[in-house]
Amino acid sequence: MTVTEFVDSKSKQLCFYLKAFWNEGLPVEELELFFWDCMEEWGQVDCTLTQPYTEKERVFWHVLHQIHYWNDDKLKNDQILIDELTHCVSFLENAGKCPIDCVGIRP
C-alpha cells in the first residue's frame, strides 16, 4: 500500500468516526481504537523518509494526532478545537480549503 492509498482510505474513515463521535453515536474509546489501528496499519505502508507530504496527508496526521491527544470532554466541548477539526474534516472530504496551520507529521 502506498502513502497516498493509506491516507485516502483512512481519511474517509477518520472523518466518519469523528463526525459520529460529535453526534453522540460513537464512544471516545472507538476513536482511540481507530487511532491504534491506523498506527498498526501504517507499519505496512511503503514509505521512505524522503517521500514528500501532500497537504491531505499533513491534515490527516494532524487530525489523527488531535483525536488521540485531547480527552473526550475537550473534543466535544472546546469550540475552538471543534471549529479547527471541522475545517480539517471539510478539507479531507474535498469540501473545503486546506487549513494553513496543520503541521501533521508521520509517526
Report d(CA 48, CA 89) in Å as an integer.
Answer: 26
Question: 32-86, pLDDT tens digit by residue?
Answer: 999 999 999 999 998 888 889 999 999 999 999 999 999 999 999 999 999 999 9
Confidence (pLDDT) at 43: 92
**Number of Cβ atoms within 10 Å of the Cβ of 15:** 20
Domain ranges of the chain: 6-43+52-92
Question: What is the per-residue pLDDT for 101?
Answer: 86
The per-residue pLDDT for 67 is 96
Could you tell me the CA-to-CA distances from 23 to 16, 20, 54, 71, 76 in Å, in that order?
Answer: 11, 5, 29, 16, 9
Is residue 102 predicted with pLDDT exceeding 90? no
CA of residue 59 relative to chain centroid, distance? 7
Q: Is the pTM of this model over 0.75?
A: yes
pLDDT at 24: 85
Q: What is the DSSP string of 31-53?
A: HHHHHHHHHHHHTTSB--TTPPP
Secondary structure letter of residue 101 according to DSSP: T
